[in-house]
Every structure is written in C-alpha cells, then in structure tokens.
C-alpha cells in the first residue's frame, strides 16, 4: 500500500495511507484519506468499501447527467421548498458517503430529512437521488441502492445509459 505524507497543524508530518479502490474503511478514515489526496476527483464509500469510478464519458455519462440536472433544476425552480444538487457528497451513515450524480432534497427548514454539516456536506438521505450508470451499474443497482433504501432515500432513479433505459 502506498502512503502520503501530510502535515498537521503543528507542522509535524504524519503518514496517511493512500485511498485505494476496494479499501474497507470507516467513514472517518475514508474522509481522512480522501482529504489527503487533492488530485482525487471522485471517490465514494458504499457499505464501508471505497469505489473510485473510471473517468466519465460524454454520451454515456456527461450528457445524460446534464439532462437530469436540467430536469431537477427546472422542477426546483417551480417548486417551493426543494433544492437540487450535482455531485454533492452525502453523509448517509457511518459506512456510506456517496456522491450521487444528482439529487433533490426538501430543504431542512421545510421538513426535509437532510441537514447541512458545518463543513458544507449534506447529512442524511435526500428525498430523490439519480445515478447515471454505464460501468458502475452493478454496485449502483445493488450495494448503493441498498444503502440509499436503508437510509431513507424515497426515490432512486438509475439511468442505464448503455441499455437506454431507466429503473
């Protein structure tokens, strides 16, 4: 396992193991390693396992994600008390910290089931989550879906781009 060297506030160096796809970690350890790797663009903790997806392709991911964001943004603009987000990290529980492609939540002060952490993360289950999937269909359909369901996500949309269908 490779490691990273990070400086803490007292300027002493500490060794932080590199975040690797497949690591089994607590949410706290996942965040510690993720924060020590500024070059990592996306990593998720699902059921205590680290997933680091491959680069996103345009037709199979980027364009469909843009379409979903447009759709939920339009909905939010015409519906009081809701807020959309794109690729925001969500602290579901101690074993799950996904970064859904799109989400829509009822605002916390309007009865929603999420809160905002002091460090600007969403805590709790958004009411709606959408995942655009090609290469990640297996864990989006299984582990991630189970984690969302168990934590109270009310609606989960899975866009299977290579199959041209929605679940």
Q: How much is the pTM?
A: 0.83
Neighbours of 59 (CB within 10 A): 10
Of 57, 125, 62, the residue nearest 91 (C-alpha): 125
* Ranges for all domains in the chain classified under CATH 3.90.1570.10: 58-166
Residues 94, 62, 33: CA angle, nearest 5 degrees: 30
Q: Which CATH class is domain 58-166?
A: alpha beta
Element spanning 5, H or E:
strand 3-7
Quote the pLDDT of residue 39.
80
Give pLDDT tens digits for 82-108: 999 999 999 999 999 999 999 999 999
Share of the chain above pLDDT 90, in %: 72
Give pLDDT tens digits for 114-167: 999 999 999 999 999 999 987 678 888 999 999 999 999 999 999 999 899 999
* 16, 3 Cβ separation under 8 angstroms: yes
If one compares 12 and 16, the residue with the highest pLDDT of the two is 16
């Amino acid at each position: 396992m490779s490691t990273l060297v990070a400086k803490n506030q007292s300027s002493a160096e500490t060794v932080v193991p590199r975040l690797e796809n497949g690591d089994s970690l607590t949410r706290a350890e996942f965040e510690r390693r993720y924060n020590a790797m500024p070059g990592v663009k996306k990593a998720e903790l699902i059921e205590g396992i680290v997933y680091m997806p491959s680069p996103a392709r345009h037709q199979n991911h980027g364009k469909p994600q843009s379409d979903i964001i447009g759709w939920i943004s339009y909905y939010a603009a015409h519906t009081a008390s809701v807020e959309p987000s794109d690729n925001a990290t969500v602290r579901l529980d101690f074993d799950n910290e996904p970064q859904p492609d799109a989400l829509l939540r009822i605002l916390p002060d309007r009865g929603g089931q999420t809160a905002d952490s002091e460090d600007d993360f969403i805590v709790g289950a958004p009411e709606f989550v959408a995942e655009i999937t090609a290469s990640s269909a297996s864990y989006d359909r299984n582990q991630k879906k189970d984690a969302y369901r168990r934590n109270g996500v009310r609606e989960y949309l899975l866009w299977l781009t290579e199959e041209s269908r929605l679940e």
